[in-house]
Amino acid sequence: MEIIRSVNTIQKKINTIIGRNEQIGFVATMGFFHAGHISLMKQAIKENDIVVTSIFVNPLQFGPGEDYDQYPRDEDRDIQLAEQSGVDILFVPDVKDMYPKTMHINMSINERVNVLCGRSRPGHFDGVITVLSKLFNILRPDRTYFGMKDAQQVAVVDALISDLNFPIEIVGLPTTRENDGLAKSSRNVNLNKNERIQAVWLYKALKKGQEFVIDGEKNPDIIVKKVMDIITKQTTGTIDYVELLSYPDLKPVSVIDQQVVLATAVYFEHARLIDNLLFDEKGNLINVFKQGEI
Amino acid sequence: MEIIRSVNTIQKKINTIIGRNEQIGFVATMGFFHAGHISLMKQAIKENDIVVTSIFVNPLQFGPGEDYDQYPRDEDRDIQLAEQSGVDILFVPDVKDMYPKTMHINMSINERVNVLCGRSRPGHFDGVITVLSKLFNILRPDRTYFGMKDAQQVAVVDALISDLNFPIEIVGLPTTRENDGLAKSSRNVNLNKNERIQAVWLYKALKKGQEFVIDGEKNPDIIVKKVMDIITKQTTGTIDYVELLSYPDLKPVSVIDQQVVLATAVYFEHARLIDNLLFDEKGNLINVFKQGEI
């Protein structure tokens, strides 16, 4: 595996790869890899000639008071894990190379953001689309891989690719789960023993919600209410939100007649957990979200 | 010459071209070609394997009350001229294909715009960078060509390419001029006989300004004053602006110690004319502006 830290160097490398007509798969990360990241890399390896993983903790997507400085970093471990996974190039630019001067161009997104986790992070997704536009132009991938755990991020990147005609296919891969069903997250270690047992009820409650749709329920309010009731009853956590929205548009629906996401965020004492399920109007689970052509 | 009207079709065509490792030169236009456009196409043909010219009157860059509907169009003539010039592909998308739905992503630029012509066209360059981002992603050129007649537009596109890391070289080519020196423009036909004779004084005044710099004048205010005096004395036009700014940053300078643009806009009865000269701190003319690597 090649480790490249300079924008200029990797641009030349990408020129060579494209000159050989090889297809590039790209996994954008902020490092501190867990099983979710690895599954993205492995899928990218299956579908492309060359896989580039980037590690860049993007200051632009952290608000004032958010944890940019405290964001966990472990580059040595990440390098080892990426190499073991079969990644070809690890791109680790520093902030000065990515943002050499104050940006003159500003990007913002005004849909798909004022719901779910975006509601409490104003400007967060503006930073995400800016850094991804830069990374897409630097790395020129054919396909880019994200985890559906952050379904809203996938919806935002989908809007970016579609609105600005990036010639990139976006692939949203299923959330990686523990044996009992809990979505994997670096934050799970912050749960105490009791909370860890309860936490699986986020997933179980969403599954229940999905089952109601399979059984013919079309009213999103009823589904949301049932999911909330289960989480409230089965956990000591405090619900941030349970929402059922069209996907990837992330608009409220009055009746479930299209592809939707059922998502929740719950505060435990030292961890805020999120989870979601994507399914069609009949309740059939959608595992992989794909948009765009090559 | 191939005429392509669909985004989808040209994306496939571009895939084929890139697969053959051919370099693409791109000339973005709003059509109604004059000698300036043709000179861009001809230079692009010299420097690339394939030249794509786009004709797209971009609604996003026209403000309310501006002349989007009245913007001159003559597609048959443009097709003929592009073909004669040796263009390989003429891309003529329609508005619905470029903007199939309301955009979720917004782009704006907050530097290099509140000076020169940008001052009186708020939002204009936001529309320019949005459509160019789309066209760059659709056409994936190696080089893109603009006329230095609109030096501010070149500065804005330079910021776009640099901030978002588009792997594209921008080439700003010298203003095409009439025999007497008047910058070529579709609007020159709107001058009456007397005005047409006077109009050359925009160029002559800018040349005089440049000569003062060659002679050692370092004070931008003095240069601007001299240029204004000449235009006022020699024409019946009303000066919109004469400005001397750093280039491509377009910032005011207190002393001429770097590359600058000396630019003017003058209202005549039925035409507003613009012109500019780009030169270094010693007054040496810079004919071609180039930024970015391939």
Residues of B whose CB is below 8 A from A126: none
In a domain, A267, yes or no: yes
B132 in the same domain as B30: yes
Q: Do A106 and B105 touch (CB under 8 A)?
A: no
Interface with chain B: mutation pick from A12, A49, A107, highest number of B CBs within 10 Å:
A107
Q: What is the pLDDT of residues B209-253, one digit of tens each?
A: 999 999 999 999 999 999 999 999 999 999 999 999 999 999 999
In a domain, B181, yes or no: no
pLDDT at B124: 95
Q: Is A239 helix (H, G, I), strand (E, B) or coil?
A: strand
Q: What is the pLDDT of residues A248-283, one digit of tens each?
A: 999 999 999 999 999 999 999 988 999 999 999 999
In a domain, A179, yes or no: no
pLDDT at B214: 98
Q: Which of A70-79, B45-54, B79-88 has the lowest average pLDDT? A: A70-79
Q: Copy the structure tokens of residue A266.
A: 């719950």
Mean pLDDT across A60-87:
92
d(CA B176, CA B60): 27
Query: Is position B124 annotated as part of the catalytic site?
Result: no
In sequence order, what DSSP letters do the residues of chain B get, joined into one string? -EEE--HHHHHHHHHHHHHTT--EEEEEE-S---HHHHHHHHHHHHH-SEEEEEE---GGGPPTTSSTTTS---HHHHHHHHHHHT-SEEE---HHHH-SS--SEEEEE-SS-SSGGGGGSTTHHHHHHHHHHHHHHHH--SEEEEEGGGHHHHHHHHHHHHHTT-S-EEEEEPPPB-TTSPBP-GGGGGS-HHHHHHHHHHHHHHHHHHHHHHTT---HHHHHHHHHHHHHHH-S-EEEEEEEEETTT--B-SS--S-EEEEEEEE-SS-EEEEEEEE-TT--B---EEE---
In a domain, B290, yes or no: no
B253 in the same domain as B164: no
Total domains in chain A come to 2
Please answer whether residues A183 and A175 qualify as being in contact, where contact means their C-beta atoms are separated by less than 8 angstroms: yes
pLDDT at A65: 83
Chain B residue with CA closest to A11: the answer is B167
CATH of the domain at A35: 3.40.50.620
Q: Do B159 and A104 touch (CB under 8 A)?
A: yes
Helix axes A151-163, A124-139, angle to 10 degrees: 60
ipTM: 0.94
Count the Cβ atoms, other than its own, within 10 Å of residue A216: 8
Query: Which pairing describes strands A105-109 and A24-29: parallel, antiparallel, or unpaired?
Result: unpaired
Confidence at A71, pLDDT banded by 50, 70, 90: confident
pLDDT at B115: 95
Confidence at A294, pLDDT banded by 50, 70, 90: low
pLDDT at B7: 98
Residues of A whose CB is below 8 A from B133: 133, 164
In a domain, B293, yes or no: no
Q: Do B165 and A21 touch (CB under 8 A)?
A: no
d(CA B212, CA B206): 10
Q: What is the pLDDT of residues B141-189, one digit of tens each?
A: 999 999 999 999 999 999 999 999 999 999 999 999 999 999 998 789 8
Residues of A whose CB is below 8 A from B7: 165
pLDDT at B71: 86
Q: Which of A173, A195, A222 is the last residue of a domain?
A: A173
Q: Is B186 annotated as a binding residue?
A: yes
d(CA B27, CA A156): 31
Strand order in the sheet with B2-4: B2-4, B89-91, B50-55, B24-29, B143-147, B169-173, B289-291
pLDDT at A72: 86
Q: Do A107 and B107 touch (CB under 8 A)?
A: yes
Out of B105, B137, B167, closest to residue A109 by CB = B105
Q: How far is B211 from chain A (nearest CA, A)?
A: 32
Residues of B whose CB is below 8 A from A134: 163-165
Q: Is B108 annotated as a binding residue?
A: no
Conformation bin of residue B181: beta by default, left when phi > 0, alpha when psi is -120 to 50: left
pLDDT at B293: 64
Confidence at B294, pLDDT banded by 50, 70, 90: low
Q: Which of A173, A197, A215 is the last residue of a domain?
A: A173
Q: What is the pLDDT of residues A202-227, one digit of tens each?
A: 999 999 999 999 999 999 999 999 99
A161 in the same domain as A110: yes
In a domain, B95, yes or no: yes
B124 in the same domain as B195: no
A160 in the same domain as A105: yes
Interface with chain A: mutation pick from B16, B164, B250, highest number of A CBs within 10 Å:
B164
Q: How far is B121 from chain A (nearest CA, A)?
A: 17
Q: Do A138 and B167 touch (CB under 8 A)?
A: yes
B20 in the same domain as B166: yes
Domain extent for B159: 2-173
pLDDT of A87 above 90? yes
Please name which of A103, A97, A8 lies closest in space to residue B163, comparing C-alpha atoms: A103
B110 in the same domain as B7: yes
Confidence at A80, pLDDT banded by 50, 70, 90: very high
pLDDT at A293: 64
CATH of the domain at A226: 3.30.1300.10
Please name which of A31, A128, A198 lies closest in space to residue B105, comparing C-alpha atoms: A128
A192 in the same domain as A169: no
Question: b/e string for B168-180 if b means 16 or more Cβ within 10 A?
Answer: bbbbbbbbbbeee
B15 in the same domain as B154: yes
Residues of A whose CB is below 8 A from B12: none
In a domain, A292, yes or no: no
Residues of A whose CB is below 8 A from B107: 105-107
Interface with chain A: mutation pick from B23, B163, B166, B250, highest number of A CBs within 10 Å:
B163
Cβ neighbours of residue A45 closer than 8 Å, sequence gap 6 or more:
A25, A51, A85, A86, A87
A271 in the same domain as A159: no
Q: Is B221 annotated as a binding residue?
A: no
B201 in the same domain as B57: no
Out of B11, B111, B163, closest to residue A167 by CB = B11
In a domain, B135, yes or no: yes
Q: Copy the structure tokens of residue B187.
A: 């609007």
Question: b/e string for B90-116 if b means 16 or more Cβ within 10 A?
Answer: bbbbeeeebbeeebbbebbbebbbebb
d(CA B292, CA B294): 7
d(CA A221, CA A239): 16
Count the Cβ atoms, other than its own, within 10 Å of residue A5: 12
A229 in the same domain as A113: no
Out of B15, B21, B107, closest to residue A19 by CB = B21
Q: Which of A148, A173, A198 is the last residue of a domain?
A: A173
